[in-house]
Structures are given as structure tokens and as C-alpha cells.
Structure 1
């Protein structure tokens, strides 16, 4: 039996917190980049996190050595590659809200691939909503690119590359037979990023942090809200409600980020921006409708990602409950 995808009322609070935490990353990136190079900011964001989370790596967990190697690759894509492109784009002059909107195209890519890769049903209403959301992304991106503030056109491809990294990481994780708990996964990803960014900082001579208080406030902001909050909730919600449901929440991130960036940095907030954000919010409503599905008995139940071939239930040590895991019996052996 196939089920639709969506988000139930029980996860609304976590979803709202996720949107706020994920939006904080774009703001923190601009705060940190004001005082130091990108490599310095990212190194000092992840080294303290790695030290804090190392104990979760020495504990026994699902996945073994093979699972550890896969999660290292997931972390390199979802954090290292993604954050490098986001910080680079903002450094090139792309507004924080526009960067978030370009990343907001991610749900369309995920939904387009969810059927063939995960066997998840995507309804016509959800496709319509995803299309409306992408129209909003395109509108605001075009407005920002033609506003004459000197940002090169190719810079708008940089956050798009980061979005592709996160999409790849999402599907790589979903097609894994055994996955660690969300907390252990975040620990693996943060240690991976600490190694990558420390190597980058050493190679570019950017290890020394500035002495300004603003820099360390930005680091605390990025560690607590953006990483522990944003990435932690991302994987937790991914495990509870599924791929497309979580990525639908990304459509709310641009609105929060744009308003935040306008208030803190005076970034433009004109008519085209409002229109594009309205389209993104309308897309969220369209895709999130029908969050409940009917099971064989006719009752409504919360949706989850289910494989058309083989679905099984496993305990989720990180989520504190039972979730539906995708286990495919096809040629891929997943």
C-alpha cells in the first residue's frame, strides 16, 4: 500500500522551530563573514561542535563501519559542500533572502526524484504547489540579479550548487539500509565538517580567528541555532515525516530569512520580493494540504515514506519512537 506524503499536526511545532533555526544560518553567515574569511568562520563553527559531539561517535550505534563511511559522505555533502556554497554566495553579494530562495528550489528536485528513487506518491496538488514555489524562487532571483547592486550573474549559480549537495545527501541517507540515530548522524556530519574546514583554513592561512566580540557571538549563534537546531531538526523530521514533507518546510525559510535580513542588514524588500515570497508561502499551503491519508480501514493516519517494494518498521533511538523506514529490495540492494 502506498501513502501520500505530508506533515501532520503533531509536527507543526517542530517544523516551525526548524524553519527559524534553518533561517538563522543565513543570517549567521553574514554576521561571521563581516569579520573573517569564510574558511575561518566555518572552522571555528565546527571545531567546538566536533569536540562536543565526539562522545556520540564512540558509542555503539547502527550502521557499523560501512554506515559510518556513508554518513561521512552525507555530512560532506549536506554540511561541507552546502555551507561553502552558501557562504560564498553571500560573500559575492547575493542577498540572504535570495540565497534562501534559490535553496528553496530543493523541494521540487526532491519531489521529482522521490517517486523513482523512494517509491513515494506525490499528488497532483503537491506538484502544483511545488511549481508555484519555484515560480516564486525565479521571480525574486531575477529581481535581485537585475537590481544593479553589482553582483555577477554567475554568483546565483553558487547557492544552486549547494542545494544540489543537500538533495544528494538526502537521497543517499534515505537509501541506506541501516541509519544511525539523528543525534549520532549530526555528530558524524559535524566531525566531518570540522576536518574539512580545518584543512581548508590551514591551506589558505586562515586559522587565526579575529578578537572581536561580534565574531564569537556569531559563532555561538551558528553553533546553537543553525547547526544543533537546524541540522538536528532536519534529520529528526526527515526520520519522522519523510523527505518531501521536510523539504516543503524549506519554502517557509526564504520568507523568514528575507524579513530577518531586512531588519538586521537593511536588505531590499520590494514588491517583487513580496510577490515571490507570497508564491512560496502559497506553495507551502498547497503541498502541505492532504497531510493525512487513509489506511486500509478507512481511518486517517499521518503519512510517512513507504517503499512500493518493501516497507518495515524499525525503532528510532534518536526520535524516541517508532518510524517507518524505507528498505528496498530492488537491484540496488537497499
Structure 2
């Protein structure tokens, strides 16, 4: 009985913790981006995360990948999940796309993942899951309805957010298919290193690499490295390993509402009645999607 209760608590607690931590990424970006270029910020973030994980891996004597094929798979997943997704979101926001609109664009990921998971991974997506995904998308749209009325921002920034959507979708599917046995310590070193190697030349080419080293930027950087790059990403990979790709992706519907709740006391962003209704619909949609996956 105790074992069953612990497993049930883990099934609820780990996804909930992931959603909260992932949501704070938008908060960290809002705090840090005014003080550094998006690519400069990300290159520094990847470098620190990789260095910390090397120390952890050495201290814990974690196994390193032995085959170049493993290194290649980890690097591709890292480029998609870190380089393309984060790069697209940070670049889009810096080019003028509002955070709410960016979140909605990336919020299409569960639908795209569910559609592709059946074709690429052979996963069965049930009618209940599709209903939950559709309800979740409606909820996200209600949460962000005021932002949608203010226009999509810079067209190039919107394209960057669409690229980010493709990156996190492809990265989730790739991680599920090719990186299931990856050690989270050493494998993540490869992934962050690959993302950093790809991002740094772009930062040198398109940005002046200047950083305003104030308390706000340092806090945002440390938060994004320790809580997001090390904590939330590890939880994402644990969830991908334990569940179907479409089921895990449905959790991303909860991120915009959760972000709105966090931003409310921090930045004074108010929540409308429609937003509160959207949060409730999103929660129900995710519950339906995960319930449908359990019955599949």
C-alpha cells in the first residue's frame, strides 16, 4: 500500500514540479535578456551548465558514452532541445514578439508531437487524448487572449518562435527514440556542449557579446542554469523515458497558465476571468490526455 501511494505521488509530483520549473524559464528570460544579447546569454548558459555537469559526472564516476553513434545522437537531441528551441524563443522575444504570443506558438507542441508520434514512434493516440489536447489548446488561447489582440510582433521574431516549436517537438521525439539509455549527467554534457558550439559562433557574428553584469542578470543566469538547464531538463528526460511522447508533451499546455500565475505577483500582470477559465480548461485537457494515454 505504501509503495503504491509513493508511486502515485511520484506520478503526480514529478510532472507538476516539471511544469512549475519549466514555467520559470520565461521569468528568467524576462529578467536577463535586457542585460545581454539572446545568443550571448545562451552561449554563457550552456558553457556553465556543461562545466558544472562535468564536475558532477567526474565526482560521481558517471559512465561516459563509448560509441561515437551515442555521442552523435546526444548531440543532435541537444541541438534541437537546447540550441533550436531556446535559441528560437530567446531570439523571438528579443525581436519584439510578446512573451504571451511566443508561449502560444510554442504551446502548439503537444498537438504537433501527438501527430508525429503516431507516425514516427508507432504510438497510439486515443480519441480521449486528442480531445484533451484540443481542450488544452483552447485553454491556452483563453489565457493569452489579451496578448493575441495586440498583434504577433515582428514577423522575423514569429518565424523564430515557429522554429523553436519545431525544435522542441523534434527534440522530444528524437530523445525518446534514440537517447532512452542516456546517462543524464554525461549525456547532458554532450548536449550542452553541442548547443554551445553551435551558438557561440552565431553570437560572435551577430552580437557584440557585451553583458551588463548586475544582480538581476546574475540571478537570472544562475536560475536558468541551475533550475532550468540542470533541473527541469533532467525532469523532462525522465518523463520522456517513463511515458509516451504525446503524453509528456501534453504537460507543455500547463506552462503558459503557470507562467501567468508566477508573473502576476512578480510583475503585476493581472489575470482576466477568461484567463482563469482557460487555466481550468487546460488542467482538464491535460488530465484527459494523460488519462487517455494510460488507457491506451
Could you tell me the TM-score, scaled by structure 2's length?
A: 0.85
C-alpha displacement at 1:284, in angstroms? 0.8
Specify which of 114, 120, 123 is matched with residue 123 of structure 2.
120
Specify which of 219, 222, 226 is matched with residue 220 of structure 1.
222
Alpha-carbon contact 2:143-2:278 (below 8 Å) kept: yes
**Alignment correspondent of 1:66:** 69
Q: What does 1:1-334 correspond to in 2, within 5 Å?
A: 9-54=9-54, 56=57, 60-62=63-65, 64-140=67-143, 143-147=146-150, 151-152=153-154, 155-176=157-178, 179-267=181-269, 269-290=271-292, 292-293=294-295
Quickly say closer, same or farther: Cα 1:178–1:276, change in 2 above 3 A. Answer: closer
**Which secondary structure does the structure 2 equivalent of 1:147 belong to?**
coil
Greater helix content:
2
**Which secondary structure does the structure 1 equivalent of 2:68 belong to?**
helix
Structure 2 unaligned blocks of 5 or more = 1-6
Quickly say closer, same or farther: Cα 1:177–1:256, change in 2 above 3 A. Answer: closer
**Which secondary structure does the structure 2 equivalent of 1:21 belong to?**
helix
Deviations 1:150-202 (A, max 9, x none): 83466444323211111111222233287422333322111122222322232
Alpha-carbon contact 1:67-1:179 (below 8 Å) kept: no
C-alpha displacement at 1:60, in angstroms? 4.2
C-alpha displacement at 1:94, in angstroms? 3.6
**Which secondary structure does the structure 1 equivalent of 2:173 belong to?**
helix
Alpha-carbon contact 1:75-1:188 (below 8 Å) kept: yes
Alpha-carbon contact 1:129-1:285 (below 8 Å) kept: yes
Structure with larger Rg: 1
Could you tell me the TM-score, scaled by structure 1's length?
A: 0.76
Quickly say closer, same or farther: Cα 1:270–1:142, change in 2 above 3 A. Answer: closer
Quickly say closer, same or farther: Cα 1:280–1:99, change in 2 above 3 A. Answer: farther
**Which secondary structure does the structure 2 equivalent of 1:175 belong to?**
helix
In 2, the alpha carbon distance for the partners of 1:178 and 1:253 equals 24
Greater strand content:
1
C-alpha displacement at 1:141, in angstroms? 5.3
**Which secondary structure does the structure 1 equivalent of 2:249 belong to?**
helix
Structure 1 unaligned blocks of 5 or more = 1-6, 294-302, 304-334
C-alpha displacement at 1:76, in angstroms? 0.8
